[in-house]
Structure 1
């Protein structure tokens, strides 16, 4: 591993650790501080990166100081666009691989609760930085990391070698885990999922843990830590910290006006007293709970849709695209009723109303009161206790 550090690297790492400490609310544990000090983050970034919310390109050769500063900021750095096919127009850019913000990296490592000798499977190698930190803590022989993108996997191997680490880097579908090195004491994902692949549970020793960023179709964000039990069941709760790219194998190529709303649809009309902003422009904790209850519903805002008497429209659809609803606001103040259009076998806006009423009736729960149970047969969400559960679609 790297031990000869330059002054800029030392200063960058010190600043990064201060930012992580501020995020965590306490000092970084000594073992992770040592790992960070031995693992310069800039060694894991490609020469061309994209930074900030607008995905501004930054090239190491052209802007070395800006590039180096980005390497040691407590912020995510996008390292690949559109699965390696960078678009000519950045308005069409979709981040497909990144270096996560260091604060969430170390928060997740802390939640793993590692001990010497444990074996860890990482899903989503990315740049290799997280695998390097794990290797410093546990030793190369105890770390296996899986990356679905061959180019990303090869770059990670090179980054790890440069930094002095040699964990097992496998190229494959992370939803399958990695059988050759199983069983593991811990499984950690660095991409978000809408469903926990059961292979992660089955490849984890009883008493072990699975840690994964979570999202539901309604909202992105949340972190799930599951404990694996003797009989092949895993149960755990959510925390609100994290927002990661969705696992590639769980993506949907679904567009509102291409796949969902068709010209020949004749929707039913009704009204609602529930404000669309109360469910789709509310606090993260509210939307997370609603999404956890709604299961397979997602939404999209349509501002100024060029329709008479419609200022803003909220679309809600099933992920299958077979049922949808549109809720219209006419732009007037103090609106008491909103027009609703619904099409398909399911009355999806009524499902939203029911979920919102459930949220109110149960004391407005946030992620910390919600959990998930995973078995070989399926997955159930629950509120407060696994006995108070409902199936996820």
Structure 2
């Protein structure tokens, strides 16, 4: 049986060979931080289960260490309270805390472009694994990490201490940042947000950078790297690839209500509804209808805005094309259709073709340049 050190070295070699780990300083951090201290037990999804069930992998279980050192995300909490030791058999729940796959964690740290001496604010301590990587690279005094869940934060603190790291740990709302140690040179968020919180934009110094994932209630995601241009303002671009994180709890959608699809106005759809199954297509739809949730698959899509009761649904026609039915004060499909057509007219770029600007007029996502097609983020 391989030792944790051997498994860790093999993972570092794998990530280096794959091109995910290129910076020698972060390679040294990955080789030094024992992930098993931060994820001693975890949940794995049960293949083929619907809704998804998760089986606990407990201390002493066969293959536990090998699972820890695979490049995979390990769920550590369900429904904001359930930990692996609380479940003796597979359970159904919504992941609420996890240890993100190492290639993504290390990739984000590398994209943040930190340098020796930089002071960094991390939003979302989680298991503490990412925090330990940052502390190893930057030194304990240069890292502040905020976690909203006291139990999750307490476990992370114990693991960090056991691993020999002592960054500043804060229990609180990460969207408020941590003003006591500001200003920061960098901010990295391991949760998704609907818009940039103003405290972040005031606590990161002008010229400093923010790396965060922007999402919405349809759970489409875009990873953005912004440079702060002044107190409360910033601009940046979305990055290539496919990154998603759990939504920051204050930004999560309201509890889903029962859906009643009533009759409404019907017309032909001018776009193929299946485009909403595309990573960026769904992202564009979410920009256009930020308060709606997108449900469905293929050419049968449903959009529901629970605040207003507005909804839209699509269906294929027997002779080709699609029909959309809309009801309520918001014409959700009109909004989505117009945005998707605009995106397609500009070449249907992946998210790396999008940018973001934040100033006194609000927070805007655009295609190409700031003069291009623009959508406001909900604030």
TM-score scaled by length of structure 2: 0.89
1:326 to 310, 313, 328: 313
Runs of 5+ unmatched residues, structure 2 = none
Distance 2:324 2:243 in 1: 33
Which among 357, 361, 365 is matched to residue 345 of structure 2?
361
Q: 1:58 to 1:69 in 2, by over 3 A?
A: farther
Q: Is the 8 A contact 2:54 2:93 kept in 1?
A: no
Corresponding residue for 1:309?
Answer: none
Match 2:276 to one of 260, 267, 280: 280
Whole-Å separation in 2 of the counterparts to 1:26 and 1:218 = 29
Equivalences, count: 369
Residue 352 of structure 1 corresponds to 336
Show the 5 A alignment for 1:1-393: 8-23=3-18, 25=19, 27-51=21-45, 54=52, 56-63=54-61, 65-85=62-82, 92-239=92-239, 240-255=241-256, 258=258, 261=260, 265-277=262-274, 279-281=275-277, 283-301=278-296, 313-318=300-305, 320-329=307-316, 332=318, 335-375=319-359, 378-388=362-372, 389-393=374-378
Greater Cα offset, 28-37 or 121-130: 28-37
Is contact 2:194-2:377 (8 Å) kept?
A: no
Task: Tell me the CA shift for residue 293 of structure 1.
Answer: 4.1
SS in 1 for 2:22: coil
How many angstroms apart in 2 are the aligned matches of 1:232 and 1:280? Answer: 33
Describe the shift of the 1:387–1:22 C-alpha distance in structure 2 as closer, same or farther (beyond 3 A).
farther
How far apart are the structure 1 equivalents of 2:100 and 2:306?
A: 27
1:273, distance to aligned residue in structure 2 (A): 4.5
Distance 1:302 1:206, change over 3 A: closer
Secondary structure of 2:114's partner?
A: coil
Report the RMSD for the aligned CA atoms in angstroms.
2.5
TM-score normalised per structure 1: 0.86
Report how far residue 321 of structure 1 moved: 4.3
Residue 294 of structure 1, CA deviation: 4.0
| 1:294-334 residue CA offsets vs partner (Å, 9 max, x unmatched) | 4333311179xxxxxxxx7421123634311111236x4xx
CA–CA distance in structure 1, aligned partners of residues 264 and 117 of structure 2: 60
Contact 2:236 2:355 (8 Å CA) reproduced: yes
1:8, CA displacement in angstroms? 1.4
Aligned counterparts of 1:346 and 1:232: Cα–Cα separation in 2 = 31
Is the partner of 1:191 in helix, strand or coil? strand
Shift in Å at residue 85 of structure 1? Answer: 3.6
